[in-house]
């Protein structure tokens, strides 16, 4: 059964779609989140329907389904958007600042109640918050809104009205929902019972009249001619039907992965490149914008060397987005040989993509829209640095821990941690021995051995004074890589504080026995800023 004919699937799909759109403002990302969320719910429901599967009251089942749906949609979003980033709202900077002042868990709890319609208990379970904290969170958020004052009840009512007016899902079009629903796979029919199976048993064969032998000679030639005419006529009819089908039925637009495959076939060079400088250059009396792109990997083409010269005249601002990180994500480029033999991105969208995950290659457009990759291209990308060193991990995913404590000095709300005085900073120290690495955070003489989220590693890189890959090498430094394969923090990097959960155990790093903490890290985050 298709999603368009199944009211339950429509409700599941639309709830997940609106949830993801509210937090991403991306139609493509919302559709992907809805697809994955419906699949996750139906997979769990299938196990419940089997003998020995889970059971419970109707209300418990509905709440569990809602929490599962939200969790699956959130998992898709977090592959591309860090939870620390508040949703973009159209209500002006006041609400944006109010939401940004909350922790990711508090903000999720608030929005699940006010935007997504979850009851307080379900929203608390989904966000990991205490149900009794909702009123305090609403009051704290409301106090950041401009021109709000009065009792806590009036503040909460004012916040509810502002959030309702700013709900991004109000702009979701029915045609976008319908297009996304049609992408859902057909639901498998339930297994038939014994009666239905018996009803489908083949009917007994009906005896037919014994075939008469063909008459030889004259009749045989006539029959053969008639058979040939029938075969030719049937073939012509099939050709006519195929032509009419092609002419009358709308053609399906190529999907994102197919479009990327087309660019791969067209490109002379396909490469993964790192951050690099852009410089105006006079070529034959004409000013061209040339980019010296540091090569991470050549996937297609015969180019050699550490740097590609790429002509990005007229599109340079699209190909190099602003970032405060020392290590903005690598880019996947589909290039062709332009005039004078210089490489240039193929004209059109999608020829320059952001590689948001180097471990399991995933890409987006420059503006952040997810772009699926063909399997062959995804498998060919090898952008991770060589020689990774294992770190001790907690087994939890980034963002899964609810931090219970802080080591260091947490700045007051609204103050950038990067602007803290040097006397209030701790230090990360990374040590490597016997093919493994360990990380200490030291503040005022107190050392903490850190256990990292699942997927974190370390490696020794060549540090330069500029972007990663610049030939002006200064020294080699140990660096922690996050779950997406990008640098999280360097050895000897200063930071004002860390959040985490004490494990109650002690461990050894560089010959020192110290207490062990599970560090709390947001998905896709980094501490390397300028």
64-99 residue pLDDT tens: 899 999 999 998 888 877 777 788 787 666 888 888
Proportion of the chain above pLDDT 70, given as a percent: 77
Higher-pLDDT residue of 85 and 386 is 386
Domain with CATH 2.40.50 in the chain: 257-380
pLDDT for 339-380, tens place per residue?
A: 777 899 998 888 999 999 999 999 998 888 889 899 899 999
pLDDT for 253-310, tens place per residue?
A: 334 478 899 999 999 999 999 977 788 888 777 888 889 899 999 999 988 889 999 9
Q: What is the pLDDT of residue 189?
A: 59
| Cα–Cα distance, 406 to 439 (Å, whole number) | 17
Q: What is the pLDDT of residue 322?
A: 66
Whole-number Cα distances in Å, 123 to 113, 117, 160, 219, 471: 6, 9, 16, 82, 51
| Cα–Cα distance, 54 to 60 (Å, whole number) | 11
Stretch 437-458: mean pLDDT, rounded? Answer: 96
DSSP state of 452: B
Q: In the CATH hierarchy, which top-level class contains the domain 257-380?
A: mainly beta
Higher-pLDDT residue of 1 and 329 is 329
- 87-96, 151-160, 171-180, range with greatest mean pLDDT: 171-180
Higher-pLDDT residue of 402 and 296 is 296
N-to-C CA span, the chain: 53
**Span of 98-102, 335-339, 468-472 with lowest mean pLDDT:** 468-472
Q: What is the pLDDT of residue 59?
A: 59
Instruction: Output b/e per residue, 93-105; b: 16+ Cβ within 10 A.
Output: eebbebbbbbbbb
């Amino acid at each position: 059964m298709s999603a368009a004919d199944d009211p339950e699937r429509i409700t599941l799909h639309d709830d997940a779609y609106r949830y993801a759109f509210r937090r991403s403002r991306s139609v493509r990302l919302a559709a992907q989140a809805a697809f994955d969320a419906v699949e996750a719910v139906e997979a769990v429901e299938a196990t419940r329907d089997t003998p020995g599967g889970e059971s419970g009251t109707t209300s418990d089942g509905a709440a569990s389904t809602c929490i599962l749906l939200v969790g699956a949609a959130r998992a898709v979003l977090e592959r591309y958007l860090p939870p620390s980033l508040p949703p973009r709202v159209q209500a002006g900077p006041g609400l944006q600042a109010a939401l940004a002042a909350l922790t990711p868990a508090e903000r999720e709890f608030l929005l699940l109640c006010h935007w997504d319609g979850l009851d307080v208990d379900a929203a608390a379970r989904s966000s990991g918050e205490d149900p009794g904290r909702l009123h305090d969170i609403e009051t704290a958020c409301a106090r950041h809104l401009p021109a709000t004052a009065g009792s806590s009840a009036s503040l909460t009512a004012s916040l509810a009205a502002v959030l309702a007016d700013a709900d991004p899902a109000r702009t979701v079009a029915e045609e976008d929902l319908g297009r996304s629903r049609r992408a859902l796979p057909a639901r498998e029919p339930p297994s038939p019972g014994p009666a239905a199976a018996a009803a489908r048993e083949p009917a007994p064969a009906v005896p037919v009249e014994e075939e008469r032998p063909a008459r030889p000679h004259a009749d045989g030639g006539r029959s053969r001619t008639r058979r040939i005419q029938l075969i030719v006529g049937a073939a012509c009819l099939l050709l006519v039907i195929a032509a009419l089908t092609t002419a009358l039925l709308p053609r399906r637009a190529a999907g994102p992965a197919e479009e990327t495959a087309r660019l791969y076939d067209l490109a002379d060079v396909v490469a993964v490149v790192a951050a690099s400088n852009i410089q105006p250059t006079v070529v034959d009396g004409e000013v061209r914008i040339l980019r010296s792109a540091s090569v991470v990997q050549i996937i297609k083409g015969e180019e050699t060397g550490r740097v590609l010269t790429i002509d990005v005249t007229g599109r340079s601002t699209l190909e190099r987005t602003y970032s405060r990180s020392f290590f903005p994500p690598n880019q996947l480029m589909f290039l062709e040989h332009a005039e004078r033999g210089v490489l240039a991105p193929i004209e059109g969208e999608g020829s320059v993509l952001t590689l948001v995950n180097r471990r399991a290659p995933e890409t987006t457009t420059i503006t952040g829209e997810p772009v699926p990759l063909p399997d062959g291209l995804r498998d060919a990308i090898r952008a991770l640095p060589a020689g990774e060193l294992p770190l001790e991990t907690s087994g939890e995913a980034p963002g899964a821990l609810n931090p219970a404590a802080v080591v260091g000095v947490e700045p007051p709300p609204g103050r950038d941690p990067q602007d803290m005085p040097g006397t209030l900073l701790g230090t990360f120290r990374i040590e490597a021995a016997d093919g493994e690495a360990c990380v200490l955070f030291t503040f005022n003489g107190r050392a903490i051995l850190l256990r990292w989220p699942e997927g974190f590693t370390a490696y020794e890189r060549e540090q330069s004074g500029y972007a990663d890959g610049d030939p002006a090498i200064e020294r080699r430094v140990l660096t922690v890589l996050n779950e997406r394969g990008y640098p999280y923090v360097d050895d000897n990097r200063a930071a004002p504080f860390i959040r985490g959960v004490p494990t109650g155990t002690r461990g050894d790093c560089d010959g020192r026995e110290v207490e062990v903490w599970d560090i709390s890290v947001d998905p896709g985050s980094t501490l390397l800023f300028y």
